[in-house]
Copies of this chain bind each other. A is one copy, B any other.
Amino acid sequence: MSQSDEHPVLDQELLQWISREYYEMNGSHIEILDAPPTPIEFSRLIHISRPVVIKGLQIPASARWTNDYLVKKMGEHSISVAFTPNGLADAVTRDSDGKLYFTEPYTSQMTMQEFFDQLMKNPILYLQSQNGNLYSSAFYEQDGRDSSEFQSLRADVPSKHPDAVNLWIGDERSTTSIHSDPYENIYTVVQGSKHFTLLPPADGWCLQERNYPHATYTPSPLDSNLVLTPSSSKTPYVRWSSIADPHLPEALPPEVHPLSITLEAGDTLYLPVGWWHHVRQSGDITVAVNWWYDAEVQGSTWVWLNMLRARDVPLGNTGEDS
């Protein structure tokens, strides 16, 4: 049968067994390093592939970046900013009819000054253009000739051949829904606090991934309120967790053990490939930078991660979801 060739049978009992075994071997301890690891220590951390908080990683941005500095450095450069009515960019959201969509934010251009002026007001703005808004892999492949909206901030963020480097600025109303990335991730908070809720790849089965139709927020021509606007029916469905808030009681089954980590300014998180993360922030304005690195493709890491997600994903919006 061709379908089962693509999606092997991982029954619920096996998935629960994997979660239990993983927890028995690893517990829910989070290592905190008082200083950045040496390259060989870091290599071992990648092999273990568990989150680690690293203190004392100094980058020029940590010392230099104030709101005034960012405004001055960026000047009249135009930057892409995400707009949502609810702080949920890239999240499963209900439209006025109660139907669920994977909804992307409205994106608009402005200066850094305009962005800071508008923050803390409505709608909710989040600088989260990601996919390498500071550096992308093209920077390294084309001898530095890629463009970035944040070119003038690059000197403050050193980087060694990452796949992408991203800048994130927002207020505490913006949250990031739980998801996992196919990258090794180094995440540094420059200002404010970030609150991560993490689950290992082994626990991903409990997040009830579903296929959701795609939508985007667009400003209404009448009052410029942001309206959830379904995309064309040709837009591919998006596989996403149905767990909107993993902190709600009974959102997660008892087999899984989420880790909670708060990063203050100056703290860095090593977030290993495939780990599920939900992110909140606090403090007036939170500024963070992250580096994504390609994960090791040789060996069994990808087989393990693919196996844990190998299943037929049902459509969202069924009776049980709505």
Contacts and interface: CB of A to CB of B under 8 A. Distances in A.
Interface stretch (A2-10, A87-95, A134-142, A247-255): A2-10
Contacts of A320: none
A101 to B, nearest CB: 32
Interface residues of A, number: 37
A155 interface: no
Contact of A50 (B14, B201, B202, B298): B298
B25 A14 contact: no
Contacts of A310: 17
A110 interface: no
Interface string A21-46: 11001100000000000011001101
Max count, chain B CB within 10 A of own CB: residue among A22, A50, A201, A300:
A300
Contacts of A296: 44, 47-48
A200 B25 CA distance: 22
Interface in A46-72: 46-50
B22 A303 contact: yes
Contact of A49 (B10, B26, B46, B299): B299
Contacts of A48: 296, 298-299
Contact of A298 (B14, B25, B202, B298): B25
A117 interface: no
A11 interface: yes
Contacts of A9: 9, 11, 13-14
A307 interface: yes
